[in-house]
Amino acid sequence: MLLSLVLHTYSMRYFLPAAVMMGTAPTYVLAWGAWRLLSAVLPARFYREVDDRLYTIYQSMVLFFFENYAGVQVIIYGDLPKNKENIIYLSNHQCTVDWIIADMLAIRQNALGHVRYVLKDGLKWLPLYGWYFSQHGGVYVKRSAKFNEKEMRGKLRAQMKAETPMYLVIFPEGTRYNPEIPKVIADSQSFAEKEGLAVLKHVLTPRVKATHVAIDTMKDYLDAVYDVTVAYEGTVDHKGQRKLAPSMTEFLCKECPRVHIFIDRIELKDIPEEQMYMRRWLHERFEIKDKLLIEFYDAKDSKRRNKFPGKSVHSKLSLKKTLPSLLFLGGLTASMLLTESGRKLYVKTWIYGTLIGCLWVSIKP
């Protein structure tokens, strides 16, 4: 009975946040869809302005759970500007929470609505979310030989034409670093060695295509590139070996006490333009990440572990930035579910919204 109670308590820690975040999705999609129809005859920038505000509301609610509810301490190192900028955000990739880390930084710059992702193509089939991410300015890409450069450039040029604020998140490794799948790590290291590049321990060899296309297409539109390195505390086992980074479920269950984020702001003039040279530059940036993570996980002096070198700031997110969004979306959803017609609309949005979204992304990228 005691074990059952413990398991029940543990499951409730993530069931409530998951139920609210997923449960408010149809409400959000309905509000967005109404605006999408109303703005059809307006210039694209008007649609983008309101869409960014709507996205800010939803993602602020998400951050209520991932920061305020989870109680995680966010430790920031380096040079995160206070003001919003048009940027490309390059980060190491180890778990689904990495998506949320970009939101954590963006909200501290009042740029949360500007976050857009370069995502692997398979994610476009996510119910409701997959279609919406594309409509919000996200770019779906296929790997290696199937990568469609023309398609990506076209989407980014459309964003610039509409004067869309850009906080474009790219994970150049192309897949997650997972210590439980050593073959992926070994293949990545073998490739680096074959190409005459430094072999990396705590990150995978980065791929340059999406990064090059994004920077080359928007070089006159961007203010900077943020090179971001993320480490989750508590991801080392009793033998001192790195283990899997927390999933969203584990994060919401408060299994990560602190997340450490190192930001290096890079001027565009310091980045090579040609793909061949940018590839070398990007690998050098990942060498720097690797050194930071070696210090974090493997420093001989135990006092230097579980932190990055240099000055840091414990950045706490105010409830004023997240709780109103939770109350607004939660209240709107609850009011819809209180009536029979509202419940029918809610269910139809899940069903038909998913079907229309899948049809849309299969026809138009």
Boundaries of every domain in the chain:
1-363
d(CA 185, CA 112): 33
d(CA 324, CA 358): 32
Tell me the pTM. Answer: 0.93
d(CA 311, CA 100): 23
Cβ pair 205, 197 in contact under 8 A: yes
Cβ pair 315, 108 in contact under 8 A: yes
Query: What contacts 147, CB < 8 A, 6 or more positions away?
Result: 141, 209, 210
Cβ pair 114, 106 in contact under 8 A: yes
- Bridge partners, residue 90, by sequence: 170, 227
Alpha helices in the chain (DSSP H): 2-23, 25-38, 44-63, 97-107, 129-135, 149-161, 182-194, 209-218, 248-252, 275-298, 323-337, 340-363
d(CA 59, CA 33): 17
Cβ pair 175, 92 in contact under 8 A: no
**Residues of the chain below pLDDT 70:** 1-11, 145, 365
Looking at residue 365, its pLDDT comes to: 58
d(CA 120, CA 97): 16
- Bridge partners, residue 141, by sequence: 120
- Nearest by Cα to 67 from 41, 93, 105: 105
